[in-house]
């Protein structure tokens, strides 16, 4: 795990990267400029130099992130690589927003549970695939061996077993339920408990439901980080009605000028239909 100042600078880096991508600035130019904005007491400027070199050589930022495995986590590399795939539907702006939000969360007071739920929701909401995605999640250095084992264990079960139920089974809330049902205050499961009682309670309430409802409940109740979403497409008119009418009149006038330049204006298009009718 990196120092807090590294995550703070990563947050700024990914935010600037996203904002300038939205301005259609080339990635090579973004890396060249943003480097000077980063605190030089961190390792990020050197990482940016390496990313710029790999981008020039291989054409992808994710290739450089992959070779900097001691600085960028496998999950960060996976997210960027999915956005840079040939013909990818995963928007690069969403990918960088995910990395920005992740770095911001890690710069605060992150929990293992909050990190896992954020990473899992990123995979689920953007349909990035559980096979390679969960493998990348499991290699995050923030997780203990018990967490890594559980993540790899549930990987082949995703899509076939209710995710909320899998979470509930590994929660303290289930332990309390079993103790109450069996009237055994000393009951202890034979596997590690990974989630607290409040996470387990929310998971139990969402068994059989869309996992997105559980994600939203965890964010509301426990302050888990929110996963960036695509901006909704425009539903309103691009221009005000009065402006739109002016454009239509201007378009009609341009059409008349084009007809005049081609040899004259066809008056039949402007006059009433029966004006030129011959009885």
Domain residue ranges in the chain: 1-110, 111-230
Evaluate if residue 277 carries a pLDDT over 90. no
Top-tier CATH class for 1-110: mainly alpha
Q: How confident is the model at residue 262 (pLDDT cuts 50, 70, 90)?
A: confident
Please provide the average confidence, as pLDDT, over all residues in the chain. Answer: 90
Backbone φ and ψ of 80, nearest 5°:
-65, -40
Which of these, 177, 168, 151, lies nearest to 202 by C-alpha position?
168
Evaluate if residue 42 carries a pLDDT over 70. yes
Report whether 128 contacts 152 (CB < 8 A).
no
Residue 147 CB-density burial (10 A; 0-12 exposed, 13-18 middle, 19+ buried):
buried
| Predicted pLDDT of residue 201 | 97
Give the model confidence (pLDDT) of 209-242 as tens digits. 999 999 999 999 999 999 998 776 555 556 677 7
Report whether 195 contacts 174 (CB < 8 A).
no
Higher pLDDT, 210 or 251: 210
Q: How far apart are the C-alpha atoms of 144 and 105, rounded to whole Å?
A: 19
Please give the torsion angle defined by the CA atoms of residues 51, 57, 60 and 66, in that order, rounded to the nearest 10 degrees.
-60
Task: Give 30's contacts (C-beta < 8 A, 6+ positions apart).
Answer: 16, 17, 20, 21
Of 7-11, 85-89, 244-248, minimum mean pLDDT range: 244-248
| Predicted pLDDT of residue 46 | 96
| Predicted pLDDT of residue 239 | 64
Report whether 103 contacts 14 (CB < 8 A).
yes
Mean pLDDT of 103-124: 96
Longest dimension (CA), the chain: 105
């Amino acid at each position: 795990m990196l120092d807090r100042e590294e995550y703070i600078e990563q947050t700024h880096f990914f935010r600037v990267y996203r904002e300038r991508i939205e301005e259609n600035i080339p990635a090579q130019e973004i890396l060249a400029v943003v480097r000077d904005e980063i605190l030089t007491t961190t390792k990020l400027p050197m990482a940016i130099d390496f990313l710029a070199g790999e981008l020039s050589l291989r054409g992808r930022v994710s290739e450089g992130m992959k070779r900097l495995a001691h600085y960028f986590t496998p999950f960060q590399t996976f997210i960027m690589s999915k956005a840079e795939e040939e013909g990818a539907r995963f928007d690069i702006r969403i990918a960088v927003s995910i990395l920005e939000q992740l770095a911001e969360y890690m710069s605060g007071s992150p929990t293992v549970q909050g990190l896992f739920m954020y990473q899992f929701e990123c995979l689920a909401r953007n349909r990035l695939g559980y096979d390679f995605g969960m493998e990348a999640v499991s290699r995050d250095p923030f997780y203990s061996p018990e967490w890594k084992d559980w993540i790899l264990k549930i990987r082949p079960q995703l899509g076939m077993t209710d995710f909320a139920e899998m979470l509930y089974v590994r929660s303290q809330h289930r332990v309390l339920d079993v103790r109450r049902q069996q009237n055994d205050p000393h009951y202890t499961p034979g596997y590690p408990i990974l989630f607290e009682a409040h996470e387990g309670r929310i998971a139990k309430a969402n068994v059989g439901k869309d996992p997105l409802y559980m994600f939203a409940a965890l964010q509301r109740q426990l302050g888990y980080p929110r996963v960036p979403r695509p901006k909704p497409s425009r539903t309103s008119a691009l221009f005000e009605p009065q402006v739109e009418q002016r454009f239509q009149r201007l378009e009609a006038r341009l059409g008349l000028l084009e007809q005049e330049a081609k040899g004259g204006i066809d008056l039949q298009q402007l006059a009433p239909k029966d004006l030129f009718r011959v009885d």
